[in-house]
């Protein structure tokens, strides 16, 4: 995606933004992302009790539990941004209007990343607020060693901001895969398999070193380490390092998607 012309890139971004916000499906997916993230987080916050001091739960991670579900909606939005155009044949018009294929993918990534960043911020803030209101009722109180959730707390802020970045990176990962495979249904299947296969294998295998390796390499388990605020020394991978692993997966997917897009006919 090197050699982007600024004026052409701006035109491409405007075109991609028009597609994103004028197609009703994308808008509903973004609304659903907020509702699912906050709703699942609220349900978990209200229903995972801490009856005694030292119950061992990470209340920040509980409040952000919805991210592991709503990431599917971020991925589907990304896939439709590419796969939808291939399905309708609109991609030919897009590539004729903007012959620089690297520019097209870069514009899609920029617009998609910005949209998920904004919507994800609302979703995560709603989750933290729900946790702040509901967790004390489930026993997460100062008497049990838990302060009320607040973004003024450094680890909580890191987990919240990192969760937003996690959603953005999952969307970019899905965008790159969609650009590579072109078919929306296949792309969704590949993305979901990539996200959930590593955690599934981690529960199946019994060898501790292999479990740890899977948690360090998988885009979902590594990336979600950013949400941890307790017992960090027990984590298979550090919070920011884990998010870096997901970023590497996304970068590789975008690189491969861009390379295949340039080499293959629409």
What's the rounded Cα separation, in Å, for the pair 182 and 175?
10
68 versus 99: which is more confidently predicted? 68
Residue 92: name the closest of 256, 255, 264 by CA: 264
What's the rounded Cα separation, in Å, for the pair 16 and 39?
30
236-256: pLDDT as tens digits: 999 999 999 999 999 999 999
Q: What is the mean pLDDT of residues 35-54?
A: 96
What pLDDT does residue 77 have? Answer: 95
Whether 189 and 115 have beta carbons less than 8 Å apart is answered as no
Confidence of residue 98 (pLDDT cuts 50, 70, 90): low
Q: What is the mean pLDDT of residues 19-25?
A: 80
Whether 33 and 70 have beta carbons less than 8 Å apart is answered as yes
Average confidence score pLDDT of the chain: 91
Confidence of residue 163 (pLDDT cuts 50, 70, 90): very high
pLDDT at 2 over 60: no
What's the rounded Cα separation, in Å, for the pair 123 and 73?
12
86 versus 208: which is more confidently predicted? 208
136-151: pLDDT as tens digits: 999 999 999 999 999 9
What pLDDT does residue 266 have? Answer: 53
CA distances (Å), origin 177, targets 12, 115, 143? 20, 19, 48
CA distances (Å), origin 194, targets 7, 64, 101, 253, 257? 36, 21, 26, 11, 16
173 versus 100: which is more confidently predicted? 173
What pLDDT does residue 67 have? Answer: 98
Confidence of residue 89 (pLDDT cuts 50, 70, 90): low
What pLDDT does residue 265 have? Answer: 60
Whether 216 and 226 have beta carbons less than 8 Å apart is answered as no
191-214: pLDDT as tens digits: 999 999 999 999 899 899 999 999
Confidence of residue 189 (pLDDT cuts 50, 70, 90): very high
Q: In the chain, where does DSSP find H-type helix?
A: 6-22, 24-47, 59-63, 67-88, 90-97, 101-134, 154-181, 184-204, 208-217, 219-223, 239-263
What's the rounded Cα separation, in Å, for the pair 80 and 82?
5
Q: Of the given ranges (86-95, 175-184, 236-245), which has the lowest mean pLDDT?
A: 86-95
Whether 104 and 167 have beta carbons less than 8 Å apart is answered as no
How many other CB atoms are found less than 10 A from the CB of residue 193? 11
pLDDT at 1 over 50: no
């Amino acid at each position: 995606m090197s050699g982007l012309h600024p004026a052409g890139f701006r035109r491409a971004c405007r075109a991609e933004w028009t597609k994103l916000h004028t197609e009703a499906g994308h808008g509903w997916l973004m609304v659903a992302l907020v509702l699912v993230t906050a709703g699942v987080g609220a349900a978990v916050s209200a229903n995972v009790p801490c009856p005694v001091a030292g119950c061992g739960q990470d209340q920040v991670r509980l409040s952000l539990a919805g991210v592991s579900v709503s990431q599917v909606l971020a991925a589907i939005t990304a896939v439709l941004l590419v796969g939808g155009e291939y399905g309708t044949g609109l991609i030919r018009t897009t590539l004729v209007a903007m012959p620089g294929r690297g520019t097209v993918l870069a514009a899609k990534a920029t617009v998609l990343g910005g949209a998920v960043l904004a919507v994800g911020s609302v979703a995560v803030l709603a989750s933290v607020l729900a946790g702040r209101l509901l967790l004390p009722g489930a026993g997460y109180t100062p008497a049990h060693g838990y302060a009320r959730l607040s973004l003024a707390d450094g680890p909580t802020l890191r987990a919240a901001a990192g969760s937003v970045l996690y959603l953005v990176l999952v969307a970019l990962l899905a965008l790159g895969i969609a650009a590579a495979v072109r078919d929306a249904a296949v792309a969704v299947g590949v993305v979901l398999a990539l996200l959930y296969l590593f955690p599934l294998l981690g529960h199946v295998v019994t060898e501790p070193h292999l479990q740890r390796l899977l948690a360090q390499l998988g885009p979902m388990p590594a990336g979600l380490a950013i949400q941890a605020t307790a017992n960090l020394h027990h984590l298979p991978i550090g919070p920011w390092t884990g998010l870096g692993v997901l970023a590497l997966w996304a970068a590789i997917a975008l690189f491969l998607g861009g390379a295949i897009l340039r080499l293959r006919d629409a």
